[in-house]
Amino acid sequence: MALQRVDHDLAADAMRALNKIRKDANGNVSPEVLTRLASLPAMLRTSGVLPSLAYYTAKRGTENPLEKAYDVVGTELRARICAVLGWDEAGRPSLDLDFLDRLTQHLRGHPADTALLSARLEQFAVWLSRLAEALEREQEAAAAQEPQDA
C-alpha cells in the first residue's frame, strides 16, 4: 500500500475549494477574490490562526462572490482544524462563533496544538494561493483570446 502524502491531500482540498468558488462565481472569479485567496498564507503567518479565523468568520456570507469565497475557505479551514484535532464536525460546514470559542478554549489547554494547526493551515493556504495565481493567469489568457469589440 502506497503512503499518501499530506500535501497531496491539502492540494486536493484547496482545488476543491477553488472549484466551489469558481462554481459560485459562474466560472469567472474576480481579481478581488483571487487577491484575497492569495493573501491567506501571509495573514496566517502575521496575524495567527485565531485572528485569521475570526476575520474569515466576520467576512463570510451569501450575498456576493467575495462573501461566498470567505465561506468556502472557512469551511475548508474548519475541516482542516477538525482533522488535526480529531474533532467530529459532520454537518457543521463553516466557521462560526461557537466553533471559534471551542477552538480558543482548546488551544488554551493544549498550546502545542497551536503550532501544529498553524503549520497545517498555512500549508493549505499556500496551495490555495498557488492555485488562485494559476487561475488568475488562466483567466487573463482567456480574456486576451476573446475578440475585442470595436
Residue ranges covered by each domain of the chain:
49-134
**pLDDT the model gives residue 140:** 87
Query: Cα–Cα distance between 70 and 102 in angstroms, integer?
Result: 20
| Cell numbers for 55 | 476575520
Q: pTM here? A: 0.86
**pLDDT the model gives residue 117:** 93
**pLDDT the model gives residue 94:** 81
Task: Give the distance, in angstroms, between the CA of residue 90 and the centroid of all CA atoms in the same chain.
Answer: 18
Query: Cα–Cα distance between 21 and 55 in angstroms, integer?
Result: 18
Neighbours of 132 (CB within 10 A): 24
Residues of the chain with confidence (pLDDT) below 70? 1-7, 90-91, 148-150
Query: Cα–Cα distance between 17 and 14 in angstroms, integer?
Result: 5
**pLDDT the model gives residue 89:** 74
Average confidence score pLDDT of the chain: 88
Query: Cα–Cα distance between 141 and 150 in angstroms, integer?
Result: 20
Distances (CA, A) of 40 to 9, 95, 99: 18, 15, 20
* Residue 43 and residue 55 in contact, taking contact as beta carbons nearer than 8 Å: yes
